[in-house]
Every structure is written in C-alpha cells, then in structure tokens.
Amino acid sequence: MSKGFKTFMIMKRIIDIILITVIVVYVSTILIQRISGNKSVFGYRVYNVASESMVPVYKVNDVIAVKDCDPNTLRVGDDIAYLGVDNSLNGKIITHRIINIEDKNGSREITTKGVNNDLTDPSITAKQVIGKVVGVVPFISAINKVIMTQAGFYFLIFVPVVLIACMEIAETIIEGKIEKKELIEIMD
C-alpha cells in the first residue's frame, strides 16, 4: 500500500467520524425531544428559541436547556419556560424572565416579560412553569442555526453525504487497483 493511500484512508476515517458524530448528536437530541413529547429526560428539556423576545440573552434558533424545578425556588430575574394558557399564547411554550412574584391566597402568581419586549405577559401560576432555563446548548445551537438556513442544510447535510459517497467510491476503486496490481505481481 502506498503512503498516499494510507494518508487518504486516515483522513477519510477522521472525516467520517466527525460527520457521523455531529449528525448523531444533533439527530439524537431532536429525536429524544420529539419521541418524549419533550418530557423531562434526566430532569432537562430542550427548546428551540422561536422569537426575538429574549434577544440579546437568547437568539432565534438557539437551543436552550430547561431544568425541572420547584416553582417555589424561582426568583425575580430567573429565566423560565412556561406553558401559555391565555389568548394567543394558549398551548405555546414561552421563555421569558420573571419580573415579579406574588403570593396570593396561598398560590404563587408569576409575572414574566421578554427582555426585548415592552409589555409584560399575562400572569401565570406555578402549575404553568415547566422549568428554569439553565443556558444555551452551544454545540446543538450552532448546528441548528446553520441547518435552519437553506445554504447550511445544503453544506451540512447534502454535501457531506455526497462527499462520503464519493470517498467510498474512491476507496473501492483504489482498493481494486491495489488488488489488481498485487495479483499481477503474483502472476509475474
């Protein structure tokens, strides 16, 4: 085997491992989220930021991790995810910052607001709280932001698949030539 072929094989394996790892991590995250109905897995959920209401803290297409928590431990200034029940927010998951907490008649009333919004959200109850935002998941967010664009999808999905297929074909052709050369040498 030639030195060039060995180098090609090593580079091919490295590229294969990197691409497969990226795809597996990204797809696994999405599958776990979808299959579980975004139920808590090990006490965490992940959500995709869909609006600019929390810019500059969280940007559109950031993937955030939300940790299950006891609503009684929440404080003003915490970022939370909650289930909207009023008007246009009904059934939507909202991620906003707590600006006020009041205990009324034995229940907790929480007021939130997007840091980039002028208006506050309708008050919510502790039962609507899904969890406290612990931060952005950087690796998944970076992939998500790129894949959400047409060019990103093309370069992160289509091109790698074609590249892997071409490298497999090249490897097969090179191995065939090596085997043919070895066979010819044996016959001589």
- pLDDT one-digit tens code per residue, 127-166: 999 999 999 999 888 888 887 888 887 777 778 788 878 8
Min mean pLDDT across 22-31, 34-43, 128-137, 178-187 is at 178-187
Does a structural domain hold residue 67? yes
- Region of 87 (left: φ > 0; alpha: ψ -120 to 50; beta: rest) is left
- Write the CATH number for 129: 2.10.109.10
Does a structural domain hold residue 174? no
Does a structural domain hold residue 82? yes
Provide mean pLDDT across the span 99-114.
92
Taking residue 22's Cβ as centre, other Cβ atoms within 10 Å add up to 15
What was the pLDDT predicted at 186?
65
- Whole-angstrom Cα distance, residue 88 to residue 92? 8
Question: Structural domain tally of the chain?
Answer: 1
One-letter amino acid identity for 52? E
Does a structural domain hold residue 24? no
Number of helices (H) and strands (E) in the chain: give both, helices first. 4, 7
Q: What letter would DSSP give residue 82? A: E
Does a structural domain hold residue 93? yes
One-letter amino acid identity for 171? E
Provide mean pLDDT across the span 28-33.
77
Does a structural domain hold residue 161? no
What was the pLDDT predicted at 188?
59
Report field, pTM of the whole predicted structure over 0.75: no
Does a structural domain hold residue 34? no
What was the pLDDT predicted at 172?
82
| pLDDT bracket for residue 116 (50, 70, 90) | very high
What was the pLDDT predicted at 126?
93
Name the residue range of residue 55's domain. 40-147
